[in-house]
Structure formats: structure tokens, C-alpha cells
Amino acid sequence: MSTDDDRPPISRPLKVEQIRDGASGEIEATPSEMADIARMLDLVELAALAFTYHLHHGAGGRLHMSGRLKAAVTQTCVVSLDPVEATLDVPVEVEFLPVSLIEELEQSVEETGGSGLLDWPEPISGGKIDLGPVIYETLATALEPYPKREGVSFDSSQGAPEVGAAGGTGPFAALAGLKRR
């Protein structure tokens, strides 16, 4: 039994048999999808999310996709907790392989001890590919992991003054002050 939590926040399935070589397109996320993605990625706001792509057929039923993800995001500053706005423009390259080829690849990786691949291929399952997970994963990995508002820095001396030796700071300053008493 599947729940709403099992569904991807954005889904754009395409039937491989209907994709002509050199096909291109653009996907814009709906407000509902952007709200779901913002919640899942702990964003203050996801104001825009667009993805342009080009698809090319390869040997053995493979599909190569190149594209660009563009987004307007607002994250929370890790220092001041103020909103931090950012515009993302990320190139994307993905290979789609039939599930049988991915299984063969997995077996060869187990035998050799490493894949040598930077990015694992996406599956062509049931004659379809889904660009939604590619969009979500690209956005998730492109976000700044520790966003900071410009001009803000973390300075430990901004907190409460240390108890202890006059002018002393650091974890042992309080102990040094007690020892002098």
C-alpha cells in the first residue's frame, strides 16, 4: 500500500517510444509542487522552478538528457535566521538506461568493487522515464548547505561574555578564573 509520502513531489513521466531524437521541452513546476518541494527541502520559499531539456537516443535503448534547472529560492541564514534569497542556474546531464542494463551494471560493480561513474544512471522502467525526480534531486543538491546572509559572520565573541580571567576567552577561561580565587 502506498501513501502520499511515497509519491515524488514532482513527476513528469514521458513514454520512451514517443520521444523523438533531439526532442526538447520545458517544465515549470506548479504552485502546489513548489510548496511541497519547499516543505521537503526546508526552504522559506520556492518562488520559481523551471527545467529545460533535450533528449537524444543512444545505443542499447539508452537516452541521454542535457538541460538546465533554474530556480528562485529563499533559505534561512544559519547565523542570523534571516531569509536568504538565491537564484540557481544549474546545468544537468543524465543518462537513462533500461532496468536490465542497470542490473547488469550493478552486478559488474559488485564484482569489480567500484563503478567509476560520477552519476548513477536513471532507470527506464515500464517504457517510461520520469524527469520529476531529476528536477527534485538537482535542486536539492544545488542548494547552499549553509546559507549565510551577506555581511553576516559567526563570531563566538558575540555571545555572552565568558566568566573567568579578565579578557580571557575560550573553553578553559572560566576554569582559569576559578583556579585564581
**Type of residue numbered 164:** G
**Position 8 pLDDT exceeds 90:** no
Q: What is the pTM of this model?
A: 0.76
Residue 114: burial class (beta carbons within 10 Å; 0-12, 13-18, 19+): exposed
Confidence of residue 164 (pLDDT cuts 50, 70, 90): very low
Is residue 175 in a domain? no
CA distance 147 to 80: 10
Q: What's the domain range around 109?
A: 4-150
Is residue 85 in a domain? yes
CA distance 137 to 9: 11
CA distance 121 to 102: 7
Is residue 121 in a domain? yes
pLDDT by residue (tens digit) across 44-89? Answer: 999 999 999 999 999 988 999 999 999 999 999 999 999 999 999 9
Task: Tell me the chain's radius of gyration from C-alpha atoms.
Answer: 24
Confidence of residue 165 (pLDDT cuts 50, 70, 90): very low
Instruction: Please work out, in degrees rounded to the nearest 5, the angle formed at the alpha carbon of residue 170 by the alpha carbons of 164 and 175.
Output: 40
Extended beta strands in the chain, E state = 13-15, 23-28, 45-57, 63-76, 83-98, 122-124, 128-130
CA distance 45 to 50: 15
Is residue 48 in a domain? yes
The pLDDT of 142-152, averaged and rounded, is 91
Is residue 165 in a domain? no
Number of domains in the chain: 1
pLDDT by residue (tens digit) across 12-36? Answer: 999 999 999 999 999 999 999 999 9
